[in-house]
Structure 1
Amino acid sequence: MIKKFTQSIRQFAKMLTPRQKKFTTLLLVLMAGCGVLEVISIISLSPFLAIAAKPELIMGNAKLAWLYQATGVESQEAFLAILGALVLFVLLLANFANAQITYAQLRLAGSINASISSRLLQHYLHQPYKFFLQRNTSHLQSFVQTESVNLTSYGLVPLLWVVQKSINASLILIAIVVVDPVAAFGSAFAFLFFYLTIYIFVRKKLARLGKLVSKTNRERYRLVSEAFGMIKLTRIHELEDDCIKRFKPVAALNARCLATQNAVGMVPRFALEGIVLTIMMGMILYLIMTTNDFRDAIPIIGFYAFAAYRIMPSVQTIYSSISMMQFGWPRVQEVFEEFQSGDDTDSTSARSYETVDSVKPKVASSSDSLVELENVWFNYPATDEPTIRGVSLFIHPKTTIGFCGTTGAGKSTIVDLIVGLLRPQNGCIRIDGKKLQDEALGDWYKRVGYVPQDIYLVDASIAENVALGVPPEQIDMDRVISACQQANVAEFIDTLPEGYQSMAGENGTRLSGGQKQRLGIARALYRDPEVVVFDEATSNLDTETEQAVMSALKNLSHQRTILLIAHRLETLKFCDRVFQLANGDLVKEGTYEEVIESRLDTVS
């Protein structure tokens, strides 16, 4: 466990910002000061009890007598009241300090939790596109929204509790050593033996429970994401009970594991309280039988009782915090490992592919081409067969280019390569005659607009959806209106009561498929891109709606470079050039009429 402590401290130190490190250092200093107050409160109680039991001690002690006279009180009872008020003040001050330390710990934990979840989201969002092809998005959501909290809930917070309570317990034990070394070392050994014995028996079980909670938590996220993601199918096919049937046992197992962990952390406290109470009763009886005047034993009994009252919660908190860290260790490590996941360069181990026998057109280079692919090969991770096989082509500026082929032919992949979402294993992609490098991707992205097959609309106004990512107060409404006019959707928006400020609803629930698709086009045009990509943007639309969307596309022809992916050749009639792919090979290139005339058309 010591190794885990040191490892946790090193890992957390790397995660903290400079400001958080300074706050943590200050917090440790305050913890030490709080521990000193605890000891003072315990020590101050013993003299007060002695005087309360035997008031004659005031005049029998030179210092107390001087203090009595200095206060100017007229009776021993009044002097005792003043001493009691001072002791009470120290006790309340110690409690107030503990409360402030607790608040500071939780504030630090909240700050770190917000920082880590934001950094984890940032880490994910900066991963290459292929990273998201290999990961379940519900798992990523779970890590950002829930699992990242484990770094504080099962890591930082219990670690800080262990540090603070260890300081308190150690200082209290030092105070007991001054009074009775044997009792101090005996108490320390008893506490250590009691909790260490329990911990040895439960630590492996806690680790197993922690792994199980982590697994069931991700499974819960996945099931909920699936249930809401296919809500239409769920309703139509009456799958509500099936969704609940799959979710309920996972949620129940997760709850049982958490309950067991809490029980393991709390139950020893009750046994220890019984043991300490028995010891205290025995001590009282022993002092009664061995002391001539029982009043002489009251300060000692009060000192030990109050010391036990203060040290027991500290020792229990240390144990429960260590148990919590053991339980949450697998989950904490998973979050740390997530920061090491993915790639920073989107590089893939290079492969060499031999040219396969297929009908490959001879593509002449063009000095004025906007995009040029030269012998490009690509395969997705964990697949043996290449998805793109030695494709070479060029695209001129302000032309409309169509990509067609059957499902799995490589249409979307080739466009993802052109856009820069994927990087080829072999071959070269040039933009304006220059090789597309990682450092140039940002500039290239600014020149590209993208319209996916399924348009996702956020639950905000139409204007905010068109200018996605732009703060509402910075939206250029002239550009929004212009983009919507080019997308043939402005006329519809003008009929809405609130116009461009009308709410689209979650994922555009208040809009038709065609309206969503044209808003997607407007979104792409808002940033005035040089290249606009339509990734099967009309495949889910009916004929009438598709014609409306295609009308919007035709308006853009020869104003921008358009890359259009489609299953049906008919969709590509107005394209200047059509590339037909099959099994990753470029099998035909030409005008729409030339591709139609060829007998290599494999489009369904």
Structure 2
Amino acid sequence: MYTSDANKALISIKKIWDVIGIHQRSIALLLLVFMLVAAALEMLGIALIIPTVLTMMGREFSEGFSFLQKIFVYLKVDSPEEKSIIIISSLASVFLAKNIFLAFASWFQLHYVFNVYFKVSKKILLNYLNQQYPFFLTHNSSELIRNILIETNQFIFFVLMQGLLIIAEVIVVVGLVAIMFTVEPTGTAVLSLTGIMAILCFYKISAKYLQKIGNARQEADALRLRALQESFGAIKEIKLHNHEKNSAESFAKLNNVWLNATRQNQFLNNLPRLGIEVAAVFCLLILITTMLLSGAKADEFLPTVALFGAMAFRLMPSFTRIITGLQSLDYALPVLNIVHSELLTIPPKFAHSDEPILFNKEIIFENVSFHYSGAGHPALKNFSTTIRKNDFVGITGASGSGKTTIVDLLIGLLKPISGEIKSDGVNIHKNLKTWSKQIGYVPQSVYLINDTLKNNIAFGVSDNEIDTKKLLKAVKSAQLGAYVKTLPLGLETIVGERGINFSGGQVQRIGIARALYREPKILILDEATSALDKNTSESFLQALQVLRGKCTIIFITHRLNGLKGFDKIINLEEGNEVREKES
């Protein structure tokens, strides 16, 4: 049983070591040095208690502290008063130095652990963003957000900080117990055994239960986030049908699971302190009783009792922190497993060639097929077509016919399971980076961030790198210029969360301006008019005519009767049969 626990502990330590990274490991070793220095100061402060008591009682130093007598002789100090002043001053100086050093060490430790948090959360996000697009089709965003924000935070407070605390307290306990053995071996053995037994008992009783409630907390956090996302995302329907109470109740149920797990963890963390206090008092009383029964006089064992009292006063918090730390590690074991797994997940490497993908002539789909994981039938089967440079192409078909799949394949988010997509005779997957730079994409639902109109159009570009000329050109081409002039703040206008301050047509034009800012050779619009009324949709298509001849436009829609003025229309029918019409 204990061998199994030891193996689990070693595995956990290795995972923590993996998570903190190479650079942070060297700083962790420096923290260990700080802990040793702090322990040495603790030991020195406690060791000075006996000579302080002996000096105040006017008695000679015991054998273990005879070196102090030699120091007094060297300094020519004879009077008990002078000796008391020197000893008390030394004790005060040691405790002052110790606490100043501990304050600095605490600052350094907090700086270290939050730096780890910064790096770990950033790396997990990068790992996610570098995954292929199908990864996001099979993973819930609330779980990904939980892992980045909550689980990394839990790792810092319940794993890393508690682990460092356990190491620091164990060093202190070992050092202080070593001093106690030199003074009173029997009493020290009893006190040490009691402390070890208390730690083991609390740990064994609570370990599995803490892991269980830790798993419950982790699952509840993901579900709480999802419930909140769904509530705010469906706010119109909730307001329309008066579902505010139902949505709040759904969140409250999940929140209650989280609260129960957190409450139980906090309760278990409070128990060790109470148990340790009772054990310490009983040990001290047993020690005094044993000495009295052995015939020792009170004035003879008073220094020893004073030392043990000071030790108990210092060791009680240490034993409590060790037990609480071990409990926190058990509670956070699911956190460690998640963070370790997500941090070390290696994003897939894309086949890459230095040869740039050019688009000067045509794009060819050659017998392209694609099948979504878990789907009953292919989304696309043996699809072939040719798109020439500067063509205005319409792709239509019923829902589920494969329109959006074609778009995702063309922009490189998905890779065909068979067949090829070539641009000027070269497979686009040989160099997706250069290929993607030539594409402007307007999705069915344009996602706007709660920022300025300018930053939404130049999405992903830092403020100091935004090209004003390209920005104004994109605004003009998307026919947003007249509307922007009516805004008091112009391009500095805040669009609101998800573009709440703009109409559907305006949002789509912002999406076009965003795509055109990158001066693409190919502009893809995926169901860009699906949420617009007939008049707005016709106005939107007329706006696209301005771009004819400047870039290749691929327009996806399920409205066949709305496709007018196109160079080519691709109609995806049932069974992925393709009917093409060229003007």
TM-score range, shorter chain: over 0.9
Which residue in 1 is equivalent to 2:336?
332
Note closer, same or farther for the CA distance 1:270–1:62 as it changes in structure 2 (3 Å cut).
closer
Q: Secondary structure at 1:559's aligned position in 2?
A: coil
1:110 pairs with one of 110, 114, 138: 114
Offset, 1:415: 1.3
Which residue in 1 is equivalent to 2:177?
173
Which residue in 2 is equivalent to 1:388?
380
Which residue in 2 is equivalent to 1:536?
527
What is the CA–CA distance in structure 2 between the aligned matches of 1:107 and 1:343, rounded to whole Å?
29
Task: Confirm or deny that 1:91 pairs with 2:109.
Answer: no
Which residue in 1 is equivalent to 2:547?
556
Pairs within 5 Å for 1:143-542? 143-287=147-291, 293-339=297-343, 344-345=348-349, 369-437=361-429, 440-542=431-533
Q: Secondary structure at 1:334's aligned position in 2?
A: helix
Offset, 1:579: 0.8
Which residue in 2 is equivalent to 1:595?
none
Contact 1:387 1:583 survives alignment (8 Å):
no
Percent identity between the two aligned chains = 28
Note closer, same or farther for the CA distance 1:420–1:135 as it changes in structure 2 (3 Å cut).
same
What is the CA–CA distance in structure 1 between the aligned matches of 2:574 and 2:192, rounded to whole Å?
73
2:28 pairs with one of 1, 10, 24: 24
Contact 2:392 2:554 survives alignment (8 Å):
yes
Offset, 1:312: 1.9
Offset, 1:500: 1.2
Q: Secondary structure at 2:41's aligned position in 1?
A: helix
Offset, 1:76: 3.1
Q: Quick check: 169-178 or 333-342, which moved more?
A: 333-342
Note closer, same or farther for the CA distance 1:402–1:57 as it changes in structure 2 (3 Å cut).
closer
Q: Letter of the aligned partner of 2:178 in structure 1?
A: I
Note closer, same or farther for the CA distance 1:400–1:189 as it changes in structure 2 (3 Å cut).
same
Task: Confirm or deny that 1:565 pairs with 2:537.
Answer: no
Contact 1:377 1:390 survives alignment (8 Å):
yes
Contact 2:276 2:319 survives alignment (8 Å):
no
Q: Return the TM-score normalized by structure 1.
A: 0.89
Note closer, same or farther for the CA distance 1:56–1:379 as it changes in structure 2 (3 Å cut).
closer
Unaligned runs of 5+ in 1: 348-366, 593-604
Contact 1:53 1:298 survives alignment (8 Å):
no
Contact 1:154 1:329 survives alignment (8 Å):
no
What is the CA–CA distance in structure 2 between the aligned matches of 1:542 and 1:267, rounded to whole Å?
65
Contact 2:15 2:336 survives alignment (8 Å):
no
Q: Secondary structure at 2:327's aligned position in 1?
A: helix
2:104 pairs with one of 97, 100, 103: 100
Offset, 1:188: 2.3
Aligned-pair RMSD on alpha carbons?
A: 2.3
Deviation digits for residues 98-137 of structure 1, max 9, x if unmatched?
Answer: 3433333322221111111111111111111111111111
Pairs within 5 Å for 1:61-72? 67-68=71-72
Q: Secondary structure at 2:523's aligned position in 1?
A: strand
Which residue in 2 is equivalent to 1:582?
573
What is the CA–CA distance in structure 2 between the aligned matches of 1:63 and 1:435, rounded to whole Å?
84
Q: Letter of the aligned partner of 2:419 in structure 1?
A: G
Q: Secondary structure at 1:30's aligned position in 2?
A: helix
Q: Letter of the aligned partner of 2:47 in structure 1?
A: I
Note closer, same or farther for the CA distance 1:535–1:505 as it changes in structure 2 (3 Å cut).
same
Offset, 1:19: 2.9
Deviation digits for residues 400-442 of structure 1, max 9, x if unmatched?
Answer: 11110000000010111111110011111112210122x5111
Note closer, same or farther for the CA distance 1:103–1:3 as it changes in structure 2 (3 Å cut).
farther
What is the CA–CA distance in structure 2 between the aligned matches of 1:42 and 1:62, rounded to whole Å?
17
Offset, 1:288: 5.2
Note closer, same or farther for the CA distance 1:450–1:368 as it changes in structure 2 (3 Å cut).
closer
Offset, 1:513: 1.1
Q: Secondary structure at 1:16's aligned position in 2?
A: helix
Note closer, same or farther for the CA distance 1:67–1:171 as it changes in structure 2 (3 Å cut).
closer
What is the CA–CA distance in structure 2 between the aligned matches of 1:436 and 1:530, rounded to whole Å?
14
Contact 1:372 1:392 survives alignment (8 Å):
yes
Q: Return the TM-score normalized by structure 2.
A: 0.93
Deviation digits for residues 421-475 of structure 1, max 9, x if unmatched?
Answer: 10011111112210122x5111111100000111111111111111111111221
Q: How many pairs were matched up?
A: 570
